Structure 1
Amino acid sequence: MKDHTLPTTLSAWLARLETAHPVGIELGLERVAEVARRMGLFALPLSEQVITVAGTNGKGSTVAMLEALARAHGLTTASYTSPHLLRYNERLRLDGQEADDATLIAGFAAVEAARQGGEPISLSYFEMGTLGALWAIAQQRPELAILEVGLGGRLDAVNIIDPDVAVITTVAQDHAAFLGTDLEGIGREKAGILRAHRPAVLGSTTLPESVRQVAGKLGAEVHALGEAFHREGDGEGWRFRGPALALSALPDPGLPLNNAAAALQALHLAGVVLEADACRRALSGVQLAGRMQWLGPWCLDVGHNPHAAHYVAQRLTALPCTGRTVGLLGMLADKDADGVIAALTPVVDTWVPVSLGGERARTAKDLAERLAFAGVEVWHCAASPADAAGWLAARLAPEDRVLVCGSFFTVAEVLEWYLATRPGPDQTAGQATILEGLR
C-alpha cells in the first residue's frame, strides 16, 4: 500500500481500524508478534524497565499509581492502557502527558508498513493500537514503560513484550465469552504474563491457586500481598511494609490500597529506591478518570462486574449521604448485571437504568426488569446515559448523590454530558479538576 493512501488524521485512522479486521477481538500472538518482528520491536529493549499489569479489576488504577510514583522519583515514563473514555489519546501517555495525534498517527503508519511489508497480516483494532503504542514508546526509550493487558494475559497483544516485573491485581469473572467462567482457568490466563525467574507481584490475597502454579512452573519470583509485602490500615495514614522497606503515614489516593501497595512493591523490584516524601506526594496527587471520580454529587465509576461493584459499595458506605443515592446504571449484555445490582443494592436507594447502543447493548427495559426482580425501586428508565443525566439533574435534591456505573460507555457519555453542561474549561474549579484528571 502506498503512503499516499494512508489516512492523515487520527479520526480517519481509527475509522479505518474499526473495519480492518473481520472480528473485533481475536486472541493469539502469532500475527501480532510477526508484525512486531518486522517493526524491529524485539531488536532492542522497549525501555530500561518494563512493568506489565494484568487482572480482572484494578489494572488502570495500578498503572496510574505506578506512573505517578515513578514520575515523583524523577523517572521518564511511558504507559499504555485501554480502553479510553473520551479520546483515544488517553491510551498512551509519555512522561505523564497524553500522546498527541501526530505520535499516534506515526505509530499506526509504522504498523501498517510492517503489516504490508511481506505477506499481508490482518490485525484487529486493539492489535494495531498496541503495536503503534509500543513503537512510539520505543522511540522515546523511557526509563520505565508500564503496560496494561487488555484482555486475559497469555494471548493478549501486550504480552509479546517480556516484562521485568509482572503484576496481577485480581482474578474474577468477566469477559466470559473469551475467558470462560472457571476462576482457575482465568487465573492461568492472567498468569500468562509471568516470566521465568523474574519477579511476579500478586496484589490480592484471594487469587486462585492456578496463578501460583504457573509461577512455580516458571520459577518466577513470587512476591505476594500479605506475605512478601503488606498493606496495613485503611484510608488516610495507611502503611506499606516490605522485607527491605517500610513506609508510613501514606495518603489515601482514592483508589484501592491493595493496588497502591502492589505498585510500590513492583517499583521496588524494578530497582527504584523509594523515598517516603516522593511516595506521599505521588499518592496524594494521583488521578484517574472514571474510577470513583467525584464531580460534585456525581460519582463516576467504570466498574462492570460484581467484584468491582463490591469495592464501589464499600467506598460509598464509608461516605455517608444525608439524601438519596441514585444509581444510574447502563451495562452491556454480556456482563453480570444481576451480580452488580446485588452488590450495589445496599448503598443505592433508587435506580435509573439506561439503554446502551451497539451489538452488545443491554436495554433499560431489561435492567429495569432485573431491578424489579431484585425488589428495588426503579425511579425512571432512560434511552441513554446522557438522557438519564439530564433528567436527573432537574430532579435531584441538594443532598442527593448519583452513582454512574456499569460500563465505560455509560461513564464516558455522562462525562461528556457533564463537560458540555459546564460554562467553560477554566470558569469553575470543578471543571479544571475534571480536565486535569483526563490529562
Structure 2
Amino acid sequence: MIPSAMSKSLAEWLQHLETLHPVGIDMGLERVSTVAERMGLLESPIAKHVVIVAGTNGKGSTVAMAEAIALAHEVRVGAYSSPHLLRYNERVRIGGREIDDEPLVDGFERVERARLQAPEVSLTYFEAGTLCALWCLAQADLDLAVLEVGLGGRLDAVNIIDADVAVVTTIAQDHASFLGTDIAKIGLEKAGIFRPLRPAILGSQTMPSSVAETAIGMAAPVYRLGLAFSHSSDGVPGQPWCWHGLTVEGDTVSLDALPDPGLPVDNAATALQALALTGLALKPGITQSALKQVTLPGRMQWIGQWCLDVGHNPHAAAYLAQRLLAPPEGGRQWALMGMLDDKDADGVIAALAPRVTDWVCVTLEGERGRKASELAKRIESHGGRVYGCADSPQAGADILASQLAPQDRVLAFGSFVTVAALLTRPLPQAQ
C-alpha cells in the first residue's frame, strides 16, 4: 500500500522503498521498463540531449564536470547520480541545484501508482529512485541530461534510456559478486549502454578490447582517449593542461591553459568530449572558469588536515596514492579506513601502503559491513602500522583527536558510508 500522508514526507517514501523488494540489488530491465512504460517515460526523450556515463571509477567526476561546464555555457542541464552522501536530494540536480522534496515526493507517488497497476511490479530501492529521478528530469524541459549508471551498465535501471552520447570511463574489478572478475566481461556489461550509430566515448587508454568491439559491432562511432581526443597533462597537481578533441561534425578543437579541477584530468577530458558531441561550442574562458569552480563532495575533499575520499577499489586507491600530497616535513600521514566486506581491501591497502605511516581502522555495520579488526590484520600483513581500531568512523576520528600534530594529515576513505559518517560531525584539527 502507499504510505499514509505520503505527499508530506520524503523520509516516509524512502523508508517505504526499502520494503518493496526482497533484495537490495536485482539486476535486470524487465521490471523497471514495465513501470517506466506505464509512467510514459519511454514515449519521448527526457531531454534534447542525453549523456549516460558508466564505468568502474570516475563516473561521478565526469558527470559533475560535464554538468558544471554545460551550466557555465548557459545550457539548461539536469543530472542524476548515486549514491548520496548526506541527503537523498543530492541525487537529482536541475540547473545545478539539488532538487526539493516536493517534486521527489510527486515522482515517487507516480512511480508507486504505476507499480501497483495489475500486474503489480516489485522494484528495488535504486530502481524506484531512478524512475523518480527520470520523471523529475523529464518535467524540467532540459537541453541536456547527464545520467550516472549505478552498477554495471547493460542491466542497470538507467539503461532504459537511450543515450545520445554514451561514456565508459574506466574498467576495473569492483562489485565482483554481481559483475564477476573477468575484465573483458565487465567491459561488456559497461558497454551495454552504447546505442547503434550513436557516439561511444572510451575515457581510458587501458580499456579492455571488449568495450570498443561492442561499439564497433553496432556501428557506433568510437571516440577513444589518446586517439580521437586527448589531453596534455604531466599529472602534477595544480598544473594547467590542454585538451584536444572533435566536434560533432568531425572538426578538431583545442582548449589551452585549462586549470586543474582537482578531479582526474582523464575524466575532465572525457566530459569535454561528451559535451562537444552534443553540439555544444566550448568557449575557452567559460570552460576555464567552470573547471576552477567545480566541486564534488567526497572526492579528495579537504577539510583542514583531513582529505575525504569515497574511493573503495584498487584503481581508485592508486589514483589517491598518486595525487595525495605529502605532509609537511616531520608530519605523519594517517589513514582512517572503513570498507565494506565485498571490496578488495588487500588491493586498496597495497596501493596506499607506501604513502601511509599510521592506520586507524573503523568498523562499518550492516549486511555488507566489515569489522575494523579484519582490516587491521590485512594492513599488518602488508607491513603497515595500525595505531588503533574503532567501532565507527566517528569513533575513529575521536582516536585521532588526541594524536594529530599540526603537520600531520589524515586520509579518510574506503566507502561512501565512511565519508558520509565523517561529514556529519566536525573533524578534529591539531591546535
TM-score over 0.5 for the pair: yes
Residues 120-199 of structure 1: matches in 2 within 5 Å? 120-199=120-199
Whether 1:393 aligns to 2:396 is: no
Partner residue, 2:328: 321
Q: Is the 8 A contact 1:389 1:417 kept in 2?
A: no
Identity among equivalent pairs (%)? 58
User: Of residues 237, 246, 250 in structure 1, which corresponds to 2:240?
Assistant: 237
Residues 16-95 of structure 1: matches in 2 within 5 Å? 16-95=16-95
After superposition, the C-alpha distances for 1:312-349 in whole angstroms (9 at most, x for unaligned) are 00001x45532001000000111000100000001111
Partner residue, 1:311: 319
Provide the secondary structure at the position in 2 that maps to 1:56: coil
Provide the secondary structure at the position in 2 that maps to 1:249: strand
Whether 1:275 aligns to 2:278 is: no
Partner residue, 2:249: none
Q: TM-score, normalised by structure 2?
A: 0.95
Extract structure 1 runs of 4+ deviating beyond 2 A: 1-8, 318-322
Q: Give the length in aligned residue pairs.
A: 420
CA distance in 2, matches of 1:4, 1:360: 31
**Larger displacement relative to structure 2 (395-404 or 410-419):** 410-419
CA distance in 2, matches of 1:385, 1:215: 42
Cα 1:3–1:233 change in 2 (3 A) is closer
After superposition, the C-alpha distances for 1:121-166 in whole angstroms (9 at most, x for unaligned) are 0000000000000000011021000000000000000000001000
Provide the secondary structure at the position in 2 that maps to 1:380: strand
After superposition, the C-alpha distances for 1:3-29 in whole angstroms (9 at most, x for unaligned) are 857463111111111121111000000
After superposition, the C-alpha distances for 1:96-140 in whole angstroms (9 at most, x for unaligned) are 000111111111001001111231100000000000000000110
Q: Is the 8 A contact 2:55 2:170 kept in 1?
A: yes
When the two chains are superposed, the root-mean-square deviation of aligned CA atoms in Å is: 1.4
- 1:418 deviates by 2.4
Residues 347-366 of structure 1: matches in 2 within 5 Å? 347-366=355-374
Provide the secondary structure at the position in 1 that maps to 2:51: strand
Unaligned 5+ residue runs, structure 1? 423-439
Q: Is the 8 A contact 1:251 1:283 kept in 2?
A: yes
Cα 1:237–1:2 change in 2 (3 A) is closer
Provide the secondary structure at the position in 2 that maps to 1:48: strand
Partner residue, 2:424: 416
Cα 1:212–1:415 change in 2 (3 A) is same
- 1:415 deviates by 1.1
Counterpart residue type for residue 8 of structure 2: T
Partner residue, 2:292: 284
CA distance in 2, matches of 1:19, 1:352: 35
After superposition, the C-alpha distances for 1:218-265 in whole angstroms (9 at most, x for unaligned) are 111100000000110234210001241000100000000000000000
Q: TM-score, normalised by structure 1?
A: 0.94
Unaligned 5+ residue runs, structure 2? 247-251
Provide the secondary structure at the position in 2 that maps to 1:245: strand
